[in-house]
Amino acid sequence: MNLYAYFVVLFVVFAFILVLPLLSGTFSYKLHKPTSHNSHTSQESASSISRRQKLREKLNITKEQNPLRIHLDAAASSSIPSRKYGIDSKTGPKRRTIAKFDNDPNTYDYDLAELIGEDEREEQRERELQFRQFAGKQQEVHESLV
């Protein structure tokens, strides 16, 4: 793929990263131009300061001088209804279900007789399938002898 295509894809990805939070209202930024120091004092100090010190002063930016300020809107994130999640170590976050539970071990949410009957029907189906397979093989043996 062309190098320019990679740059276009990279630009689109960065655009989505910046634009989507801005559109949702959870992210905002402000450009702030720092006020420059007095030109008179900078001219006086320019003659006495070496190049290395000038560069160090240019690169030393304080929090107030930072031109880009990023702010996360707490009101926007709190306007979303909060969902309470329980975290299970095996499966991850799950939505909590707050319900009344019966602590009696003799009461069940399901019918035990129905579950036992279902297991017995399943076993009967498996036995019938094995019998059919065995009967089919026995018939093949008889046919091969004839």
**What does the pLDDT read at residue 38?**
53
**What does the pLDDT read at residue 6?**
93
Q: Enter the tokens of residue 8.
A: 């276009």
For residues 97-105, average pLDDT? 72
Q: What is the pLDDT of residues 74-86, one digit of tens each?
A: 655 555 555 555 6
Whether 69 and 30 have beta carbons less than 8 Å apart is answered as: yes
pLDDT greater than 80 at residue 116: yes
**What does the pLDDT read at residue 88?**
63
Q: Enter the tokens of residue 17.
A: 């990263």
* Mean pLDDT for the chain overall: 75
Give 118's pLDDT tier (boundaries 50, 70, 90). Answer: very high
DSSP symbols for the chain: --HHHHHHHHHHHHHHHHHHHHHHTSEEEEE-PPPPPPHHHHHHHHHHS-HHHHHHHHH---TTT-SEEEEE-HHHHHHSPP--EEEETTTEEEE---------TT--SS-HHHHHHHHHHHHHHHHHHHHHHHHHHHHHHHHHH-
Give the β-pairing of 92-95 and 85-88: antiparallel
**What does the pLDDT read at residue 76?**
54
pLDDT greater than 60 at residue 37: no
